[in-house]
């Protein structure tokens, strides 16, 4: 029998599924499709996209100077993010195999596709590539870290954690020592991949 918390978690997953379906419906309303892994827009939509694009010179002229001055700081994060991406990929390739944990598919988190939108100018496309990569890497790292925490220390914190990772709801309660070792072992067993 499901506990009230398990029922709420299941309800939250149902709501997330509904959100995903609604987002899929909205995507379907836009005139594009995937063909051999590529995004293909209907020609009428491509023409509307090109007509809506703001010229790069106009775009830069309308941008506040302080925003332009912060660009080097924003882009300076690219190197540490790329290094984090590499290190976490190596980490999980080695450690998750040893632990028997399913590896996180990086491609399920890092999406770089907005540069295909013809209504974006060159700088906007570059910014979209940067943001898609950076936020995707952070999502990827968060999933790897969540699985690591689930393996090594699946105990909730005493304080409320805002927006915890997906595994957190299933963690053991803080201060609940009864059968801790057995329940921790079961958590690890539940994570085992079919290797």
Segment 10-61, tens digit of pLDDT? 888 888 889 888 887 877 777 777 888 888 888 888 888 899 899 999 998 9
CA-CA distances (angstroms) from residue 30 to 38, 39, 149? 15, 12, 39
Backbone angles phi, psi at 167, to 5 degrees: -80, -20
Instruction: Give me the domain span that covers residue 165.
Output: 65-191
* Same domain flag for 69 and 36: no
Dihedral angle sign, alpha carbons of residues 94, 99, 102, 106: negative
Query: Which structure tokens are listed for 9?
Result: 């978690």
* Same domain flag for 41 and 72: no
* Same domain flag for 81 and 42: no
* Same domain flag for 126 and 157: yes
* Same domain flag for 24 and 83: no
* Same domain flag for 184 and 123: yes
Q: What percent of the chain has pLDDT over 90?
A: 51
Whether residue 126 is contained in a domain is answered as yes
Whether residue 104 is contained in a domain is answered as yes
Provide the 10 A C-beta neighbour count for residue 150: 20
The contacts of residue 139 (CB under 8 Å, 6+ apart) are: 109, 110
pTM of the model: 0.82
């Amino acid at each position: 029998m499901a506990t009230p918390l398990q029922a709420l978690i299941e309800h939250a997953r149902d709501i997330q599924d509904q959100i995903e379906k609604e987002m899929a419906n909205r995507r379907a309303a836009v005139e594009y499709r995937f063909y051999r892994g590529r995004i293909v827009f209907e020609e009428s939509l491509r023409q509307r996209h090109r007509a809506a694009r703001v010229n790069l010179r106009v775009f830069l002229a309308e941008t506040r100077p302080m925003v332009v001055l912060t660009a080097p700081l924003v882009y300076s994060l690219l190197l540490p993010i790329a290094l984090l991406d590499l290190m976490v990929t190596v980490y999980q390739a080695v450690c998750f195999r040893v632990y028997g944990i399913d590896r996180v598919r990086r491609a399920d988190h890092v999406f770089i596709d907005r540069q295909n939108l013809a209504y974006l100018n060159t700088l906007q496309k570059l910014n979209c590539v940067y943001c898609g990569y950076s936020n995707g890497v952070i999502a990827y790292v968060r999933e790897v870290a969540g699985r690591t925490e689930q393996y090594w220390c699946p105990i909730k914190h005493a304080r409320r954690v805002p927006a915890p990772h997906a595994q957190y709801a299933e963690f053991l309660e803080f201060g609940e020592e009864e059968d801790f070792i057995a329940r921790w072992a079961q958590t690890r067993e539940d994570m085992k991949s079919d290797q």
